[in-house]
């Protein structure tokens, strides 16, 4: 395995610990990182884009120590200390679930309470209207949507809380792997909506952490 230079001081610098992005790394490297860092409890590490078949290769005594969530493809052995503040993670549909739950799991790992509200897409606007009171009781809102991503604009006009929008790669044809959703979010008429990279639930959760830490 090639040596991995781990950024152990990141938390001290920016308040966020380093995470391991597993997709694209050599399989042997990921297994080694899981064996050496994945079960660490004094210095927890978050693994993202972690395939289930790699987790299945771990020895049983290591695998049982790892909290793995197949839908979000995230894993950790321990969480960071609990923090104040709550984040609502709102998705347009269950097709966006992998990204939605990556955001929610990252918040959980960071010690931040999160509530997931799925199936709030604007094709059935009543679903969002019914939940807007509960959503607005949170400190930060992450909105996850593919297709035309109209949910970001609608929700951005219905809450005074910071809105962090994540386009997903969901959709047919001209959805273009999330490019259309990204452009839609970037051109939103709702002022002050922050937009993240396609499918980057992890990044939005980290931004929510920074917002809560700046209060």
69-108 pLDDT, tens per residue? 999 999 998 888 888 999 999 999 999 999 999 999 999 9
Among 51-55, 121-125, 128-132, 193-197, the minimum mean pLDDT is found in 121-125
The structure tokens listed for 162 are 């910071």
> Which pLDDT does position 1 carry in this prediction?
46
The CATH number of domain 86-213, selected from 3.20.20.70, 3.40.50.620, 2.40.128.280, 3.40.50.1970: 3.40.50.1970
Q: What is the mean pLDDT of residues 180-200?
A: 95
**pLDDT above 70 for 7:** no
At residue 155, the 3 state secondary structure works out as helix
Backbone angles phi, psi at 184, to 5 degrees: -60, -45
On the CB side of 213, CA atoms within 13 Å amount to 15
CB within 8 Å of 52: residues ≥ 6 apart: 68, 70, 73
Does 4 score more than 80 pLDDT?
no
Q: What is the pTM of this model?
A: 0.90
Share of the chain above pLDDT 90, in %: 66
- Around Cβ 48, how many Cβ atoms within 10 Å? 21
- 47: three-class secondary structure by DSSP: strand
């Amino acid at each position: 395995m090639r040596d991995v230079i781990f950024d152990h001081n990141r938390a001290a610098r920016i308040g966020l610990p380093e995470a391991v992005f597993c997709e694209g790394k050599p399989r042997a490297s990921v297994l080694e990182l899981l064996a050496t860092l994945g079960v660490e409890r004094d210095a927890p590490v978050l693994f993202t884009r972690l395939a289930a078949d790699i987790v299945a290769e771990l020895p049983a005594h290591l695998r049982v120590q790892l909290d793995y969530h197949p839908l979000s493809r995230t894993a950790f052995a321990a969480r960071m200390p609990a923090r104040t503040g709550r984040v609502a993670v709102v998705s347009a549909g269950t097709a966006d679930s992998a990204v939605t739950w990556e955001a929610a799991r990252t918040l959980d790992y960071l010690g931040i309470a999160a509530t997931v509200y799925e199936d709030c897409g604007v094709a059935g606007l009543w679903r969002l209207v019914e939940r807007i009171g509960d959503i607005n009781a949170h400190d930060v809102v992450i909105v996850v949507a593919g297709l035309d991503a109209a949910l970001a604009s609608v929700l951005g006009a219905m809450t005074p809380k910071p809105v962090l929008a994540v386009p997903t790669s969901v959709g047919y044809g001209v959805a273009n792997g999330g490019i259309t959703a990204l452009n839609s979010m970037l051109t939103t008429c709702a002022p002050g909506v922050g937009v993240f990279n396609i499918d980057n639930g992890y990044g939005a959760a980290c931004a929510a952490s920074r917002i809560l830490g700046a209060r």
